Amino acid sequence: MSRSAKGIAALLVLLLAGSAAFLLLRPKGEGQVARITLNGKVVQEIDLSRVEQPYTLTIDGPGGFSNTITVEKGRICVSKAGCPDQICVHQGYISDGTTPIVCLPNRLIIEITGGGSGLDAAAG
Amino acid sequence: MKQRLTALILLCALLTGCAAAGKGEQPLTATVLAMDTVMNFTLYGGGMGEEQLRQALSGAEDTLRQLDAALTAQGAEGEAAALNAADGAWTAVPQSGALLQQTLELAELTGGALDPTAYAAVKAWGFADGNYRIPPAEELEQLKADIDYTRVELSEDGAQARLAPGQQLDFGATAKGWAGDLLRQQLEQGGITSALLDLGQSSIAAVGTKPDGSPWRIAVQDPAGDSGDYVGILELSGRSMGTSGSYQRYFEQDGVRYCHIIDQATASPAQSGLAGVTVVADSCLLCDGLSTALFVMGLEDGVRFWRENSSLGFDVIFITDAGEIFVTSGLKDSFSLADGEEREVQVLE
Amino acid sequence: MTQRRADGPYRVVRLALLTAIALTIFMAEAQLPPLVPIQGVKLGLANIVTVYAVFVLGPRDALMILSARIFLGAVFSGQMMTLLYSAGGGLLAWAVMAVLSRQLTVKQLWLASPLAAVFHNLGQLLVAAGVMKSWTVMAFLPWLLISGVVTGLFTGLCAQFLIARLERISRGKDPGTKED
């Protein structure tokens, strides 16, 4: 095989192993802060570990419809949405920072940033 | 080619192995139910063995339960309960004597804004048993007369105390702070250099910083928001903080909210224009007691008190009913707003 | 068919045929459940045609096939978002293949395919990040990298195998024998 072919093969192996390693070994965040972003701007941050009673909040986005978000202790999900695909609703709950919930038509992102804000406790 | 590929794969495996090894020190945590609330303790052992760390934690839990039983106004063994039932007679206060002494000193310092004998009103309004009610005017007049910390007497040696007849007392405003200081001392003596004691969110005591030297990051609840919604983050290094708010415990009637913090001047829930007060200081007891007192005082008097008592070494975060956020100058660098929070912090000098 | 560069009618026929194949794969793939919870992000199986075309017909012809497939794919699937993602992913993959077309031969299709797939997915994610105005979506990158390598390898090997067999046929030999 030519040199560039070997190089490409090596690169692919690296990407594959690296991605797998990253996914398997990523440390779980210490805190559980759900960050809700609309159109690139952070709209709200909720500390999920401090939530006592489940509650819902509704956000109207630039897509012209709304997403209804259900917040519970330790997890969050989009329970209802006006988008045609409903991918965000089907995704269900997220409880750690592995994957975010994304509603593309409404430019809505919900991600759990454990390491980012890194909250150790809440006063209140 | 095959050799190079194999080498590459081995390198990847090695790297992932290293990543797994360097995951960082894991803390020992415990959740304890005490003093009518849920407490969370986080301890880092540093170099000490796991057994020693566990012992430090269980020792702290034991002390906490002991304190809880001794200080309560509602259990049979509680010294506050004994005082209340004694109807003016001298009562032994072996475990709570020192706390009582310091609480009374704080009461005097704050001109009565903190007053442990306000418990009579706390009970009258139903916060002790959950049967909320608005007491009639004559009852409030009587309560106003009874709420008077100056009439609480402590014996010379601090081993006995008595209330004036008709008075009722509890350590609700200072018990957690007291426990925070004691537990922190105990842990430090046990060799712990990094721990966070969350005593039910209204009182938090830190031992040192996190193992990597960074401060503990504490979210400050937004009084107007849902639970979990926070307005900013406070960085805590080896100090304590105490929070009092109208949103912590309250009932609503006819559209008016009545919170559990009693204003001794009116024998009624305080309505000072403040929704939440957080005090930061070295002593957890000071934080606990002052947060209640400053809440009752209101913003103007509270700020004045802060300016006149700078020797105490404390700082405050005031959040008004209108949602304004005020922070005293000492917290300028350690308090930051949450992402997406649009309000501004006003720094008080 | 695999080696000769033709002009005129042969060329047009070949371009059209490859476009049709790419489009069919694209539409079939659209029926599968979404890979990640971002609307419009696809597996990119149709890129195998782009990769093949770059090596055998040259980057320019490959680009024509790609553009036609992207446009028609969006029209048939009825979603303009899809066009953005296909374009972002497809063009990035095509560009990388164009650069590499001198370094690799068609016998290394199985290697080029996963690489193209990886860049296709990267391109899609970059488009998503731009649309959402946030880098958060990059959280899906590890998933997409793995899927890119795996599906790219799969389609690459299939295509390689298919081409080898076709070659035998066009040379008039029995596809079952091992002569060569």
Q: C2 in a domain, yes or no?
A: no
Which pLDDT tens digit goes with each residue over B235-278? 999 999 999 999 988 999 999 999 999 999 999 999 999 999 99
- Token readout for B153 is 């007497």
What is the C-alpha to C-alpha distance for residues A71 and A34, in angstroms, rounded to an integer? 9
C100/A8 CB distance under 8 A: yes
Query: Which pLDDT value is given to residue B241?
Result: 97
Q: Specify if C111 maps to a domain.
A: yes
For residue C125, list chain A residues with Cβ-Cβ distance below 8 A: none
pLDDT at B338 over 50: yes
Q: Which pLDDT value is given to residue A121?
A: 81
DSSP states of B191-250 as a string? T--EEEEESSSSEEEEES--TTSPPEEEEEEPTTS-TTBEEEEEEESS-EEEEEETTTSE
Confidence of residue C179 (pLDDT cuts 50, 70, 90): very low
pLDDT at B47: 79
> Count of CB atoms within 10 A of residue B223's CB?
21
Q: Which residues of A touch B275 (CB under 8 A)?
A: none
Q: With cut-offs at 50, 70 and 90, classify the pLDDT of residue A120.
A: confident
pLDDT of residue B288: 96
Instruction: Map residue B100 onto helix, strand or coil.
Output: helix
Q: What is the pLDDT of residue C1?
A: 46
CA distance B126 to chain A (A): 22
B110 with B290: CB under 8 angstroms?
yes
Would you state the pLDDT for residue B12?
A: 59
Closest CA to C84 of C113, C116, C125, C53: C125
pLDDT value at C43 more than 80: no
Summarised one tens digit per residue, pLDDT across range B60-96 is 999 999 999 999 988 878 999 999 999 899 999 999 9
DSSP state for residue A116 in the 8-state scheme = T
Residue C112 lies in a domain: yes
Question: Please, what CATH class does the domain formed by A33-113 belong to?
Answer: mainly beta
pLDDT at B191 over 80: yes
For residue C77, the domain's CATH number is 1.10.1760.20
What confidence score (pLDDT) does residue B124 get? 95
Residue C39 pLDDT: 62
Interface confidence, given as ipTM, is 0.76
Tell me the average pLDDT across A28-35. 68
Judge: A122–B221 Cβ closer than 8 Å, yes or no: yes
Residue C178 lies in a domain: no
pLDDT at B31 > cutoff 50: yes
pLDDT at B19 over 50: no
Neighbours of A85 (CB within 10 A): 18
- Helices C47-56 and C9-30: angle between axes, nearest 10 degrees: 160
Q: What is residue A31's predicted lDDT score, i.e. its pLDDT? A: 55
In chain C, what residues touch A90 (CB-CB under 8 Å)? Answer: 37
pLDDT tens column, C59-117: 899 999 999 998 888 888 777 777 888 899 999 999 998 988 887 777 788 888 999 99
Do the Cβ atoms of C133 and A7 come closer than 8 Å?
no
Residue C93 lies in a domain: yes
* CB proximity A17 to C under 8 Å: no
SS3 B38: strand
Which has more pLDDT, C8 or C59? Answer: C59
| Superfamily (CATH H level) for B75-162 | ApbE-like superfamily (1.10.3980.10)
pLDDT in tens, B282-334: 999 999 999 999 999 999 999 999 999 999 999 999 999 999 999 999 999 99
Q: Pick from A8, A18, A19: which is nearest to C115 by CB?
A: A8
Name beta bridge partners: B10: none
pLDDT grade, residue A28 (50/70/90)? low
Nearest to A5 among C36, C111, C143 (CB): C111
**CA-based nearest distance B40→chain A, Å:** 9
A91 pLDDT more than 90: no
Kindly report, residue by residue over C117-174, the tens digit of the pLDDT: 999 999 988 998 888 877 888 888 888 888 889 888 888 888 888 888 877 887 776 5
What's the CA gap between B315 and C42, in Å, rounded?
55
Segments forming the whole domain that contains residue C112: 9-170
Task: Using alpha carbons, list the distances in angstroms from residue B31 to A100, B41, B218, C74.
Answer: 29, 6, 17, 55
Sheet bearing A75-81, strands edge to edge = A55-60, A66-72, A75-81
Reading across the β-sheet that carries B240-245, which strands appear in turn? B28-34, B37-44, B194-198, B203-207, B240-245, B274-281, B315-320, B325-328, B345-348
pLDDT of C3 over the 60 cut: no
Residue A91 Cα, gap to closest chain B Cα (Å): 23
Q: Which residues, numbered 274 to 303 in chain B, qualify as contacts with chain A under a Cβ-Cβ cut-off of 8 Å?
A: 276, 278
Q: In the predicted model, what is the mean pLDDT of residues A49-57?
A: 80
Q: Which member of A8, A104, A111 has the closest CB to residue C40? A: A104
Contact C108 A1 (CB under 8 A): yes
CA distance C19 to C4: 18
The pLDDT confidence band at residue B228, using thresholds 50, 70 and 90, is: low
Class of domain B28-70+173-348: alpha beta
Share the mean pLDDT of chain A.
Answer: 81
Q: Would you say residue C175 lies in a domain?
A: no
CA distance C126 to C131: 9
Scored b (16 or more CB within 10 A) or e, B62-92 reads ebbeebbebbbbeeeebbbbbbbeeeeeebe
For the CA atoms of C52, C57, C58, C64, the dihedral, rounded to the nearest 10 degrees, stands at -90
pLDDT given for residue B6 in this prediction: 62
**B10 is written with which tokens?**
């081995």
Specify the pLDDT at position A115: 41
Maximum distance among all Cα pairs of chain A, rounded to whole angstroms? 65
- pLDDT for residue A15 is more than 60: yes
What pLDDT shows up at residue A30? Answer: 52
- Residue-wise pLDDT tens digits, B99-157: 999 999 999 999 999 999 999 999 999 998 889 999 999 999 999 999 999 999 999 89
- Domain(s) labelled CATH 1.10.3980.10 in chain B stretch across 75-162
- Contact (CB<8Å) C100/A98: no
Name residues whose C-beta falls within 8 Å of residue B138's C-beta, 6 or more positions apart in sequence: none
Is B16 in Cβ contact with A124 (below 8 Å)? no
Confirm whether C1 is domain-assigned: no
Measured distance CA(C122)–CA(C127) in Å, rounded: 9
Would you kindly state where each structural domain of chain A is located, as residue ranges?
Answer: 1-28, 33-113
Name the nearest CA neighbour of A45 among A32, A54, A56: A32
Binding partners of B (≥3 Cβ pairs within 8 A)? A
Q: Which residues of A touch B14 (CB under 8 A)?
A: none
Q: List CB contacts of B304: < 8 A, sequence separation 6 or more.
A: none
pLDDT at A94 over 60: yes
